[in-house]
Structure 1
Amino acid sequence: MTEPTISQLPPMPDDWQRALAVVAHPDDLEYGCAAAIASWTDAGREVSYVLATRGEAGIDTLEPAKCGPLREREQRASAAVVGVSDVGFLDHADGVIEYGPALRRDIAAAIRRHRPELVITLNHRDTWGGTFWNTPDHVAVGRATLDAAGDAGNRWIFPELTEQGLEPWNGVRWVAVAGSGNPTHAVDATDGLERAVRSLLEHRTYIEALTDEDPQTYARGLLTGFAEEAGKRFGNRPAVAFELFPR
């Protein structure tokens, strides 16, 4: 009996110059797709980050007033490792982000401001791979990002943004969802994987609260495992997989 053939993923489109990554928390991108972002910035593409929260409710032993600024600093340092200097925060409340017009408007405003061709977000579905329950924040931000990619181009949705000088931007060509259980494309992570590990390690306070494992061992083992698993569908090269929604 022959082994089943694993369907291979095509490479992500590369005919773009600007990307905007929109996620809920500090560290979401570092767990999800930093190796791909490193490869894109290496190629001279512009990538900016927008985070819905500052992750202030993410560490049980640290009160939000102290946790938020610390995690913001860690996020900025983490982004710099993979060549991203533009990091913004929407200041929604960590843990209780609400999907709805207010969130869509804030993300649409960010898209109009940055004018990306590619928008990146994190798994917006109820589960991770049909097994582990996703968090409400990830679901809300992922779903709102998919919707806001269209909102950003319609001047009659959130007309107050135009009044604020943010002209409609209908130039988003794709929304790429990292961490999806239904990937359609992938990016070679070979050159970016080492920096992705270093980028995740910048979230040291969070990692040390999360696990007793040595942070270096934890970060390297986790990201290498993710890349190797995705690589089974990408010519056995380390990879970051995305579910790509064209617009």
Structure 2
Amino acid sequence: MTEQRDQPEPLQPLQPLQPMPTDWQRALAVVAHPDDLEYGCAAAVADWTDGGREVVYLLATRGEAGIDTLAPADCAPLREAEQRASAAVVGVSEVEFLDYRDGVVEYGLGLRRDIAAAIRRHRPELVVTLNHRDTWGGAQGGGFWNTPDHKAVGRAVLDAAGDAGNRWIFPELLTEQGLEPWNGVRWVAVAGSSTPTHAADAGPGLERSIASLLEHKAYIEVLTDQDPAEYVRTFLTGNAQQAAARFGGRPAVPFEVFPR
């Protein structure tokens, strides 16, 4: 007797990515480590700042556990300096650090409070973060396990966008720090998502995004045996071209956008 097997469901065609919102002036990008934004969305940031928009970076850690051959006390100032130089390449002059320990960031009230405080300080309309889900990978399956720091920070960002606007959540932000509630976040955009909904044109800022990631020289040199410039260009252009199929053939930076 021939065994009957269910046929797999056919893969559904991927929907086109919608253009990112443009009717905003201020953005806050919140990630776990130096280089997260450079791998994730620096080409979009370069284009945004060229258009006169303000973007501030907030990092939970200084990436001090990222280089095996360098002790954290020596690594932290090096990676901080590389991050500031990297941000400057794409027009970002303000970079803040929360000083959580690299590799052991935990989702919780303290992290939510610190990010909500930053949102109240900077009053962005757009908040950007990195993939908060368990895996990286394509929307149709597969992928690699995400790191605990990325998951904790990304999820806390999504929650803190609401916390920042509620005066009864973390009231000490007002009474102790004088930070008035800010309910003006209109979107949270997640870079590196396996289920993107929107995209920004990567073309205008692509070369500067390459230069921006190359500022993380100490990290990249221990990450790959390739020539750093070749590695960075291949990685970033490949990602941008992969997204082009869903964005009218244009190289793109994809985001999963959660409206508020």
TM-score bracket for the superposition, by shorter chain length: over 0.9
Instruction: Establish whether residue 224 from structure 1 lines up as the match of residue 232 from structure 2.
Output: no
Alignment gaps of 5+ in structure 2 = 1-11
**Residue identity matched to 2:50:** D
Cα separation, 2, equivalents of 1:20 and 1:10:
21
Equivalent position of 2:5 in the other structure: none
For 2:160 and 2:61, the matched residues in 1 are separated by: 17
Shift of 1:6: 4.5
Q: Deviations over 1:25-64 (max 9, x none)?
A: 0000000000000000000000000000000000000000
Matched, 1:110 2:118: yes
Q: How far off is 1:5 after superposition?
A: 5.4
Corresponding residue number in structure 2 for 1:239: 252
Matched, 1:192 2:205: yes
| Paired amino acid for 1:212 | D
C-alpha displacement of 1:131:
1.6
Q: What residue number does 1:211 align with?
A: 224
* CA distance in structure 2 between the aligned counterparts of 1:234 and 1:69, rounded to whole angstroms: 39
Q: Which has the larger radius of gyration?
A: 2
1:92 is the counterpart of 2:91: no
Runs of 5+ in structure 1 lacking a partner? none
1:22 aligned to 2:27?
Answer: no
**Partner in structure 1 of residue 164 of structure 2:** 152
Q: Are 2:146 and 1:134 aligned? A: yes
Q: Does the CA contact (< 8 Å) of 1:6 and 1:232 recur in 2?
A: no
- In the alignment, structure 1 residue 175 sits paired with structure 2 residue 183: no
- Contact 1:27 / 1:75 at 8 angstroms: preserved in 2? yes
Does 1:165 find its partner at 2:167?
no
| Over 6 Å off, 4+ runs | none
Q: CA RMSD in A?
A: 0.8
The offset of 1:232, in angstroms, is 1.0
Count of residue pairs brought into register by the alignment: 244
Pairing partner for 2:51 from 43, 65, 87: 43
State TM-score, norm by structure 2. Answer: 0.93
Report % sequence identity: 78
Indicate conservation of the 8 Å contact 1:81/1:198, yes or no. yes
